[in-house]
Amino acid sequence: MIIKPRIRGFICTTAHPRGCAAAVDQQIAHVKEAGPIGSGGKRALIVGASGGYGLSSRVVVAFGCGAGTVGVSFEKAPEESRTATAGWYINRAFDARAKRAGLYAKSFDGDAFSDAMKEQVIAAIKADLGQIDLLVYSLASPVRQHPRTGVLHRSAIKPLGAVKHFKTLNVDRGVVHEVDLEPATAEETAATVQVMGGEDWEFWIDALAKANVLARGFRTISYTYIGSDLTWPIYWEGTLGKAKEDLDRAALAMRARLKAVEGDARVAVMKAVVTQASTAIPVVPLYASLLFRVMKDARVHEDCIAQIDRLFRTQVYGSSRAEDRAGGGGAMRLDDVGRIRMDERELAAPIQNEVRRRWPLVSTENVAELADLEGFRADFLKIFGFGLPGVDYEADLDPALADL
């Protein structure tokens, strides 16, 4: 099969095995070039490990800290006439590279919200690692079947209170347009909190603690987005913001609970990047492509791996390198509710003022100029393994390709 991108709205229904492996290689190279991360944990569990911030976290702790990793994600295997989802190839490529580097790696495919998955993962930790030093909780899902009630909750990405008018971008067609979004009902808001809030993160910690697999000094991190007034109506002040508030609640509760192992639980506020999850949020593609243009011009842009590398190198773990310590290694940059802030470059006044200045001006005619439409598209295709240098995209491949 000759595998080409097939884009439907904000998803690509094909993925390129060799390209996905090349994307993993790029991330590993980024971390290796930055050098080892001094005092990192050596045994980590990453929930939501196959893409976006979770994949970068796995790469950083493995190839930066030398950690053995267990990854959990929800991906589809290939069929005869269909490629697998990108994360399926990515997990295989990651596991192969980790093993070649002498690092333990095991990837589980299935529903992280279920008790069965938690049991399987804990059994593997007990058998292979004994305990873990780190849990990165980086799930982004549209649905969650509640493990206790069996109810299938569906998240809704909607504003709250009243109909809100938004400017947004169809990335595929390069069209800037306006949309009206109906406010969420109370049920939709509650369901979004069920899916994207902190309860499942707490369930993981409860299960791991009960099984006595949390090492002394154990840390757990989950990711949030706050953004600026341009995205607040759809994000922080919408259903997603309510879910993320619940993540803050969970972090606080878990910080108290983890005192027993001298542990810590933190939410890290990350910058906007292109991932499967973020492209599905209205407004984000327009905001992010304007932001990327402005941040790239100011030479402060970071992609997924650059953000996560800086997070672990300067905030989560100290660094053995003097220049990293000068950049804040060891001491965490926390806000008033104890979140780690990694969005300080995105939110810097000169960056936001410039994005805000461009916002009313941007249209279909000038979007390629005022915004980084090409960069956004390239990042989007890269998620699915397309557009990577050195990959033969004309090659006839078996989609079940095993040697990644």
Residues that bind ligand NAD (CB under 6 A): 48-54, 72-75, 87, 111-113, 138-141, 223-225, 270, 272-273, 275-278
Q: Quote the least distance from Cβ 207 to ligand NAD, whole Å.
A: 15
**53: annotated active-site residue:** no
Q: Structure tokens of 254?
A: 């878990």
Angle, CA 133 vertex, CA 130 and CA 135 arms, to 5°: 110
Q: Quote the least distance from Cβ 69 to ligand NAD, whole Å.
A: 13
Q: Quote the least distance from Cβ 366 to ligand NAD, whole Å.
A: 24
Residue 47 or 184: the one with the smaller Cβ distance to ligand NAD is: 47
Longest Cα–Cα distance in the chain: 59
Q: Quote the least distance from Cβ 163 to ligand NAD, whole Å.
A: 24
Residue 34 or 117: the one with the smaller Cβ distance to ligand NAD is: 117
89, 235, 287, 317: the active-site residue: 235
Strand partners, 107: 71
Nearest to 219 by CA among 198, 205, 203: 205
Nearest to 54 by CA among 268, 204, 284: 268
Residue 112 or 381: the one with the smaller Cβ distance to ligand NAD is: 112
Residue 143 or 260: the one with the smaller Cβ distance to ligand NAD is: 143
Cα–Cα distance between 374 and 291 in angstroms, integer?
A: 13
Cα–Cα distance between 133 and 213 in angstroms, integer?
A: 9
10 Å CB burial of residue 9 (0-12, 13-18, 19+) is: exposed
- Residue 8: CB atoms within 10 A of its CB come to 8
Residue 113 or 203: the one with the smaller Cβ distance to ligand NAD is: 113
- Single-letter code of the amino acid located at 57: S
Residue 113 or 386: the one with the smaller Cβ distance to ligand NAD is: 113
Nearest to 44 by CA among 138, 135, 139, 137: 135
Strands (E) across 164-303 are located at 164-170, 175-181, 214-224, 264-269
Q: Quote the least distance from Cβ 109 to ligand NAD, whole Å.
A: 8
Calculate helix-pair angle for 52-63, 86-100, nearest 10 degrees. 0
Q: Which residue is nearest to ligand NAD (CB)?
A: 52
Strand partners, 45: 70, 135
Angle, CA 234 vertex, CA 230 and CA 240 arms, to 5°: 125
Q: Quote the least distance from Cβ 243 to ligand NAD, whole Å.
A: 9
- Which residues are catalytic, by number? 235
